Amino acid sequence: MTIRFDGRVAIVTGAGNGLGRSHALGLAERGAKVVVNDLGAALDGRGRTSAAAEKVVEEIKAKGGEAIADGASVTSPDEVKAMVERVMAQWGRVDILVNNAGILRDKTFTKMELDDFRAVLEVHLMGTVICTKTVWDIMRAQNYGRIVFTTSSSGLYGNFGQSNYGAAKAGMIGLMNVLHQEGAKTDVRVNLLSPTAATRMTEALLPKEALELMTPASITPGVLYLVSENAPSRVILAAGAGGFAQAVIHETEGIYLSEAERTPETIAARFAEIGDLAGMRDLKGAFEQTDKFVAKAAAARGIALPKRG
């Protein structure tokens, strides 16, 4: 079945260049009305201009699509609120939010100033929170919403010199997991994209031959699926150079220790058993972990537990 977005309204942050631009163009090509949000800042977040966003809007309109440019800073609740109010006045709804805006201020942790740590957290994590919070009740009232957060392999696996960026990107995992639960009743689905692409953020880090393969356009099909009507929810989709994979967080089955055995020495001696991957599983919520450990303890003591809930 062809994926289309006719009648849908999408906001894409950081859409003046790179991945955001590609996502905005892709949504518009398939029928969405698109808000091209971009502060127009430098890579480190300094400066401001609307030129990049307006250029993307011109590209969309030249192909027969509908789009508006907006220069709201994702770190400003007032500016984001004004943007969303403008969208609601013009088009009456918000169906899709792609949180893509970001900055870099890379340094080793020992050399990094706290202001640079906070700045990256503010744009990536709090910017995502602010934009999502602003459209959340609109989507719930519509009984429809599709939201993508942009995480990174730096947050999933780590990358030297990016403690601020990695922390911000990892924080999105917890945010997604909770909002997936809170949005389920009203069909608001929330997913993570973990992209690797040739953008302003990576052009100085990778060889030319690799960058030529890592086009933003090779990633956008994954975003279009994650914000489609039949999208999943609570998925981490990794994408790059035409490759797509799903990152997952699993927990091992673990062991139960009696009170007499609960010493650090026992844990050290049985650590391989604790980390045994056999039987590991994807837990759907925090209480699944609680239930697992309590069930083991109850079984060891012969206690019959009442069903929770």
Query: Which residues are designated catalytic?
Result: 165
In a domain, 274, yes or no: yes
Average pLDDT estimate for 225-229: 98
Q: What is the pLDDT of residue 305?
A: 86
| 193 and 144 inside one domain | yes
Residues 268 and 176 in one domain: no
Q: Mean per-residue pLDDT for 134-158?
A: 97
With beta carbons less than 8 A apart as the criterion, state whether 186 and 164 touch. Answer: no
The DSSP string of 86-151 is HHHHHHS---EEEE-------B-TTT--HHHHHHHHIIIIIHHHHHHHHHHHHHHHHT-EEEEEE-
Instruction: Count how many domains the chain has.
Output: 2
Q: Which domain holds residue 231?
A: 9-247
Rounded CA separation 219/237 (Å): 10
One domain for residues 208 and 281: no
Same domain, 186 and 79: yes
Domain shared by 220 and 266, yes or no: no
117 token code pair: 């740590």
Has residue 201 got a pLDDT over 60?
Answer: no
pLDDT single digits (tens) 76-85: 999 999 999 9
Burial letters 3-19, b for 16+ CB under 10 A, else e:
eebeebbbbbbbbbbbb
295 and 223 within one domain: no
Domain-terminating residue out of 247, 268, 292? 247
**Is 192 in the same domain as 278?**
no
Asked whether residue 140 falls in the same domain as residue 27, the answer is: yes
Does 264 lie in the same domain as 235?
A: no
pLDDT at 4 over 70: yes
Q: What is the pLDDT of residues 269-306, one digit of tens each?
A: 999 999 999 999 999 999 899 889 988 999 998 998 88
Please check whether residues 235 and 277 belong to one and the same domain. no
Tell whether 45 is covered by a domain.
Answer: yes
**309 falls within a domain:** no
Give domain status of residue 85, yes or no.
yes
